[in-house]
Amino acid sequence: MATLELDVAEVAVTQPARKGRRLGMLFWAAIGWMTFVFAMAVLAPLLPLPSPTDMDMLERRAPFSAEHWLGTDGLGRDELSRLIYGARISLVVGLCAPVIGLTIGGALGMLAGYFRGRFESIVVGSMDVLLAFPPLILALAVTAYLGQSILNLTLILGFLGVPAFMRVARAATLTLSRREFVIAAQALGATHARILLRELLPNVILPLFAFFLLGVAITIVVEGSLSFLGLGVPPPISSWGSMIGEGRESLDVAPRLAFLPAAAMFLTVLSFNLVGDTLRALTDPRQGAL
């Protein structure tokens, strides 16, 4: 008996340590990079930077200097300024579009997983129909038809993210709706709205938030792809994708014009993926003790 109690105590002591070790150096490095990018994007108007749209044809593709820390692009615009202001566009689209998917898809998934029956069949069937269309092709077609603007691009990408968030919310709700605290609330006469908002939502929002971070990374890549093809934000507004597209024309003389925004996008997407995947592992109900 004493040996059994000692083993249980050792498990109780080592289990938190195992969970704590999951947040390693890569996780905190990703948090640091995300914080740095957000700070630069938010404080861009306050930084001593030239205008990202001012052109100087006499300074085209100028190298690194004290006046232009990262040089200039093919039209003589300051590359560092364009990189920081481009982060604002990429982050705005990358954050706002998944919020649309999270709000609509999360609500539909919770309702479908809780009420089941015909409503669930309608919601799941409609999402399957939406998933049948190739997302990038659909985004290209709708963007070409509605026109290029940040609002249109955000709405399209947010609409395309609804099915994925619906599936995550529905799967989590199906698991939680059979738990004891939900059954107890139903036995006590709680309304459906109270059960959904007070019992299920606080538990469903954790895996949804982890998936939200992964959705931000995917949205930044999709926005960059559309801007690279010329169907993203309209000029003279710049994003990382449009900067990569413009830089490909100077690969032979100034490859940094394409590699710098590509590196910024790569590090940002990698950081969101690392943080989202870590949080997903921590909130996975299959790894819980209950």
Report the CATH number at residue 241: 1.10.3720.10
Residue 108 placed within a domain: yes
Residue 7 has pLDDT above 60, yes or no: no
Residue 188 has pLDDT above 60, yes or no: yes
Confidence of residue 22 (pLDDT cuts 50, 70, 90): low
Which structure tokens are listed for 194? Answer: 């109270």
The predicted model gives 188-206 an average pLDDT of: 85
β-pair partners for 78: 72
How high is the pLDDT of residue 56?
A: 75
Residue 171 placed within a domain: yes
Q: For residue range 23-74, list pLDDT tens digits in order.
A: 778 888 999 999 999 999 899 888 888 888 778 777 777 777 777 788 788 7
Task: Return the C-alpha torsion angle 131, 102, 171, 142, nearest 10.
Answer: 0
How high is the pLDDT of residue 241?
A: 84
How high is the pLDDT of residue 3?
A: 41
How high is the pLDDT of residue 283?
A: 66
Residue 128 placed within a domain: yes
Q: For residue range 92-125, list pLDDT tens digits in order.
A: 888 999 999 999 999 999 999 888 888 889 988 8
Residue 55 placed within a domain: no
Residue 92 placed within a domain: yes
Could you give the number of structural domains in the chain? 1
Residue 59 placed within a domain: no
Which domain covers residue 216, as residue numbers? Answer: 31-37+78-284
Residue 264 placed within a domain: yes
Residue 48 placed within a domain: no
How high is the pLDDT of residue 284?
A: 63
Task: Return the C-alpha torsion angle 235, 239, 242, 247, nearest 10.
Answer: 110
The predicted model gives 282-287 an average pLDDT of: 60
